[in-house]
Amino acid sequence: MEPIILQQVVDCPGATIRNDALQPASEPILTVTLKAQNGQIYLLPLSEQGARSLFEVISSWWRAPHFP
């Protein structure tokens, strides 16, 4: 699978949590709204595990002087 490379994200104007009744899931989906440098808006749906992993990576980045 080829990765999708977005423009630099410059803002996160919001997020919503939803559990679709038509497609029941074991966990609610967090949809993050991201605004790219070029003004394009992207909606990024994350599972609970995906959100946790992203938070862990960002937390490590802030704490480490030389993030790999």
pLDDT tens for residues 4-58? 888 899 999 998 887 766 666 566 688 999 999 999 999 999 888 888 998 898 8
Domains contained in the chain, number: 1
How many whole angstroms separate alpha carbon 34 and alpha carbon 12?
A: 5
**In this structure, is residue 2 part of a structural domain?**
no
- The answer to whether the beta carbons of residues 4 and 19 sit under 8 Å apart is no
> Domain of 36?
19-63
**In this structure, is residue 14 part of a structural domain?**
no
Three-class SS state of 62? helix
pTM for this one? 0.69
Q: Tens digits of per-residue pLDDT, 1-10?
A: 899 888 899 9
The bridge status of strand 41-46 relative to strand 29-36 is: antiparallel
**In this structure, is residue 4 part of a structural domain?**
no
**In this structure, is residue 54 part of a structural domain?**
yes
**In this structure, is residue 56 part of a structural domain?**
yes
Three-class SS state of 59? helix
**In this structure, is residue 3 part of a structural domain?**
no
